[in-house]
């Protein structure tokens, strides 16, 4: 089904052509002056020079060809040459009917799907998930759903940090606390215990402790480095201990991500590509693209057009150790080999921009990816507290994700139990669901690259541009539909939409008609905030319509049924949109 705006444009393009002008002059946009018209076309001005005619003349000519066209209720020409358009109720009705009777609201999946690897989440093993990882998970999950809705084949990979010094630090501290474990006994040749020698809580306490101590205690640091090397060299005992660290940590991550309604197809990490590094480095050296500089192995990636200096990409440090960059290059090699993706998209803090620029250029230059593989980094801004500084706990520590979610849940629960008389269990479940919406919407409604202020009060408010407001709107619609059903109304899904009766109803219908256009934009820009903007407007327009219309008490059954159909369509669209954002609505709240 053709997009709404394309259908209108096509009609106006025909008119320009029939009047003797070029089709491209008939492109229509949403009106910038909604007080005057709904859609507008400024092609007459753009084409005036080309045709050496006054724009007013051109516009008049095109307008004449639109006379009597059933798509418009009004076509007017205004200085200096605009075509102002209002749509006929019947045309809008017909379009919405097509949307209503299709499971995808008339938006067909692409016939040119891409294979896309989406690298998001990126938590680090043995370290607690903190709010910095929240954005990657929330934005990534939504982008994944948007791409899939479009029809692309998406492989979501969590790409954990499960290698390197952080693991050596944890191992060192475990050894200090439990020196007698078999993992540290080089002469031990039996099977290692199946049970991990620590809980996840202990693990989360061990890492920060070890990290802080290594900064003050050079001997401790040296030991951690040594353990890191041994692990990387394949020491049997340390490997077995490392596996416990990963398993305990991953089990906890899975729980956390499940609570966030975020999931991954692949649970790979930095460790999974380590075996590819030696061969990759050898090839890079052999091609002459990687060379030694001050003892390190580097690849030049600066380009003439760079406006700021891009330093060489370091592949191996002078002690021969691989880096974050090296692992990302090896991961690219692996992904190319396994999936030959059209695109690989990374979602991290925007402070990693230089890192990805270096990785992407090195990968292209050294032939690690095919020339046609598109590499994209979406860098997001910082989540700040109300003081404008990166979000911290009340006592200034790093905020754990679970604590943050707990806070929102509590806030939501207090609002929900005050508002309704639902039982405790349902209230708790609803609070969870609404809290997740508050959290995700609060994040996704901003353009990803921007910093934003995490404001619990605002995010959990039932009014304004918030997740709870959207859910509240959905619940309101559902309650009307339920009442209609309980009063013996016909099957809601069978009812047809009618032409609008009021300005409010028309505005709501026009919002609905713009769905495909908006989704296409959200897909091409990888921009969940477009969906938020759309459903906020849709909710506002629905609520204006609702306040202006007595729906259930309407005497005329035709009118009433048309409105019920419109409500049901609105509800389905809101639900489809929040699903793309990664949350859902409760039955009541
Ligand atoms: N673990 C990293 C961090 O916490 C993020 C990983 C992002 N993905 C990647 N392929 N580098 O910063």
Question: Considering the domain boundaries, does residue 288 fall inside one?
Answer: no
pLDDT in tens, 481-498: 999 999 988 889 899 999
Boundary residue ending a domain (208, 231, 259): 259
Based on the domain organization, do 200 and 70 belong to the same domain?
no
Please check whether residues 413 and 525 belong to one and the same domain: yes
Same domain, residue pair 405 and 552: yes
| Residue 129 lies inside a defined structural domain of this protein | no
Instruction: Please tell me the predicted confidence (pLDDT) of residue 131.
Output: 79
Cα(96) to ligand 1 centroid in Å equals 44
> How many A from CA of 269 to the centre of ligand 1?
9
Distance 378 CA to ligand 1 centre (A): 12
Residues 512, 426: one domain?
Answer: yes
582 lines ligand 1 (CB under 6 A): no
Q: Are residues 81 and 225 in the same domain?
A: no
Ligand 1 mean position to 212 CA, how many Å? Answer: 21
> Looking at ligand 1, which residue's alpha carbon is closest to its atom 6?
122
Mean pLDDT of 529-557: 97
Do residues 82 and 219 both lie within one domain? Answer: no
CATH number at residue 504: 1.10.730.10
Overall average pLDDT of the 365-392 stretch? 92
Q: Kindly report the protein residue whose alpha carbon is nearest to atom 3 of ligand 1.
A: 122
Query: How many angstroms separate the alpha carbon of residue 468 from the centre of ligand 1?
Result: 31
CB 401 within 8 A of CB 472: no
- 160 pLDDT above the threshold of 90: yes
CB of 128 within 6 A of ligand 1: the answer is no
Q: Which of 63, 87, 111 is the C-terminal boundary of a domain?
A: 87
Output the six-digit token pair for 584.
Answer: 């859902």
65 and 191 housed in the same domain: no
* Residues 82 and 172 occupy one common structural domain: no
The CATH code of the domain that includes 77 is 3.30.1360.70
Q: Say what the pLDDT of residue 258 is.
A: 94
pLDDT in tens, 303-355: 999 999 999 999 999 988 899 999 999 999 999 999 999 999 999 999 999 99
What is the number of alpha carbons within 13 Å of residue 1 lying toward its C-beta? 20
Residue 96 resides in a domain: no
CA–centroid distance, 156 to ligand 1, in Å, is 14
- Kindly report the average pLDDT of the chain as a whole number: 94
**Among 279, 300, 589, which Cα is nearest to 460's?**
589
Assess whether pLDDT exceeds 70 at residue 98.
yes
State whether 79 and 203 are in the same domain. no
Query: Is 161 near ligand 1, meaning CB less than 6 Å away?
Result: yes
- pLDDT at residue 196 in the model: 97
Dihedral pair phi/psi, residue 559, rounded to 5°: -60, -50
User: Ligand 1 centroid to 232 CA: how many Å?
Assistant: 19
- Closest to 380 (Cα-Cα) out of 402, 405, 349: 349
Atom of ligand 1 nearest to the CA of 132: 4
Is residue 67 in a domain?
yes
Name which of 538, 550, 479 is nearest 511 in CA terms: 538
Could you tell me the residue range of the domain that residue 536 belongs to? 401-581
Q: Are residues 456 and 558 in the same domain?
A: yes
Residue nearest to atom 8 of ligand 1 (CA): 122
What is the share, in percent, of the chain residues with pLDDT greater than 90? 88
In the predicted model, what is the mean pLDDT of residues 543-550?
A: 97
> 203 and 68: one domain?
no
The length of the chain in residues reads: 589
> Which atom of ligand 1 lies closest to the CA of 324?
11
Residue 103: pLDDT band (50, 70, 90) is: very high
Q: Is 124 in the pocket of ligand 1 (CB under 6 A)?
A: yes
What is the per-residue DSSP string for 478-544?
HHHHHHHHHTTPPPGGGPPP----SHHHHHHHHHHHTHHHHHHHHHHTT-HHHHHHHHHHHHHHHHH
Band (129; pLDDT cuts 50, 70, 90): confident
Whether residue 459 is contained in a domain is answered as yes
Note the pLDDT of residue 426: 87
pLDDT of residue 95: 98
Residue 335 inside a domain? The answer is no
pLDDT band at 415 (very low <50, low <70, confident <90, very high): confident
CB neighbour list of residue 587: distance below 8 Å, 6 or more residues apart: 475, 478
Q: Please name the residue whose Cα sits nearest to atom 11 of ligand 1.
A: 328
Atom from ligand 1 closest to the CA of residue 161: 1
Cβ–ligand 1 distance for 159 under 6 Å, the answer: yes
| Whether residue 419 has pLDDT greater than 70 | no
Mutate to test the pocket of ligand 1, among 326, 352, 356 (most ligand atoms within 8 A of CB): 352
Q: Give the distance (Å) from ligand 1 centre to CA of residue 334.
A: 16
Query: 387 lies in a domain?
Result: no
Look at residue 207 and tell me if it is in a domain: yes
Mutate to test the pocket of ligand 1, among 121, 130, 131, 161 (most ligand atoms within 8 A of CB): 161
What pLDDT is stored for residue 589 in this prediction?
A: 85
Query: 465 and 556: one domain?
Result: yes
Tell which of 215, 233, 259 closes a domain.
Answer: 259
Report CA(383)–ligand 1 centroid distance (Å): 17
Separation of CA 543 and ligand 1 centre (Å): 42
Read off the pTM: 0.95
Residues 180, 176: Cα–Cα separation, whole Å: 9
Q: How many structural domains is the chain composed of? A: 3
Q: Is 346 in the pocket of ligand 1 (CB under 6 A)?
A: yes
Separation CA 249–CA 163 (nearest Å): 13
Q: 388 falls in which pLDDT band (50, 70, 90)?
A: confident
Determine the pLDDT at residue 40. 97
Report the distance separating Cα 31 and Cα 83, nearest Å. 10
- pLDDT number for residue 418: 65
pLDDT class of 420 with cuts at 50, 70, 90: low
Confidence of residue 128 (pLDDT cuts 50, 70, 90): confident
Residue 398's pLDDT is 73
């Amino acid at each position: 089904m053709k997009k709404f705006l394309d259908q209108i444009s096509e009609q106006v393009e025909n008119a320009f052509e029939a009047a003797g002008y070029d089709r491209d002059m008939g492109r229509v946009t949403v009106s910038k002056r909604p007080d005057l018209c709904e859609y507008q076309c400024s092609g007459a001005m753009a084409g005036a020079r080309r045709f050496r005619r006054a724009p007013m003349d051109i516009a008049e000519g095109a307008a004449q060809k639109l006379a009597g066209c059933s798509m418009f209720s009004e076509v007017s020409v205004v200085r200096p040459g605009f075509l102002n358009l209002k749509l006929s109720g019947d045309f809008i009705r017909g379009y919405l009917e097509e949307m209503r009777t299709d499971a995808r609201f008339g938006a067909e999946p692409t016939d040119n799907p891409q294979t896309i690897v989406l690298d998001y989440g990126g938590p680090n093993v043995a370290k607690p998930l903190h709010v910095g990882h929240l954005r990657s998970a929330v934005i990534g999950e939504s982008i994944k759903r948007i791409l899939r809705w479009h029809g692309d084949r998406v492989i979501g990979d969590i790409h954990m940090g499960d290698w390197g010094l952080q693991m050596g630090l944890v191992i060192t501290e475990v050894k200090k606390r439990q020196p007698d474990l078999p993992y540290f006994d080089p002469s031990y040749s039996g099977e290692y215990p199946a049970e991990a020698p620590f809980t996840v809580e202990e693990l989360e306490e061990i890492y920060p402790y070890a990290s802080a101590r290594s900064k003050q205690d050079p001997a401790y640091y040296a030991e951690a480095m040594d353990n890191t090397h041994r692990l990387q060299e394949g020491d049997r005992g340390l490997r077995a201990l490392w596996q416990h660290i990963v398993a305990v940590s991953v089990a906890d991550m899975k729980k956390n991500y499940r609570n966030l309604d975020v999931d991954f197809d692949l649970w790979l990490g930095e460790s999974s590509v380590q075996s590819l590094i030696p061969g990759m480095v050898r090839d890079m050296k052999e091609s002459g693209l990687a060379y030694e500089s001050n003892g390190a192995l580097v690849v030049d990636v600066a380009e003439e057009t760079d406006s700021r200096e891009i330093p060489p990409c370091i592949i191996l440090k002078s002690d021969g150790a691989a880096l974050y960059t090296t692992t990302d290059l090896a991961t690219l090699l692996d992904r190319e080999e396994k999936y030959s993706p059209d695109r690989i998209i990374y979602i991290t803090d925007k402070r990693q921009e230089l890192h990805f620029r270096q990785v992407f250029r090195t990968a292209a230059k050294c032939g690690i990816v095919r020339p046609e593989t598109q590499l994209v980094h979406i860098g997001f801004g910082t989540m700040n507290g109300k003081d404008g500084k990166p979000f911290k706990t009340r006592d200034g520590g790093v905020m754990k994700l679970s604590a943050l979610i707990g806070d929102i849940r509590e806030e939501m629960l207090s609002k929900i139990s005050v508002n309704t008389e639902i039982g405790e269990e349902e209230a708790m479940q609803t609070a969870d669901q609404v809290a997740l919406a508050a959290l995700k919407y609060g994040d996704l409604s901003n353009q990803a690259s921007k910093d934003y202020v995490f404001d619990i009060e605002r995010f959990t408010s039932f009014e304004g541009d918030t997740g709870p407001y959207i859910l509240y709107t959905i619940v309101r619609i559902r309650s009307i539909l339920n009442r209609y059903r309980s009063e013996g109304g016909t099957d809601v899904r069978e009812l047809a939409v009618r032409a609008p009766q009021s300005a409010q109803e028309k505005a709501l219908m026009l919002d609905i008609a713009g769905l495909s256009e908006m989704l296409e934009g959200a897909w091409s820009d990888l921009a969940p905030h477009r969906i938020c903007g759309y459903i906020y407007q849709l909710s506002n327009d629905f609520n204006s319509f609702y306040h202006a219309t007595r729906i259930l008490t309407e005497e005329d059954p035709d009118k009433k049924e048309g409105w019920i159909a419109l409500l049901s369509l609105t509800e389905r669209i809101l639900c489809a949109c929040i699903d793309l954002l990664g949350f859902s609505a409760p039955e009541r709240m």
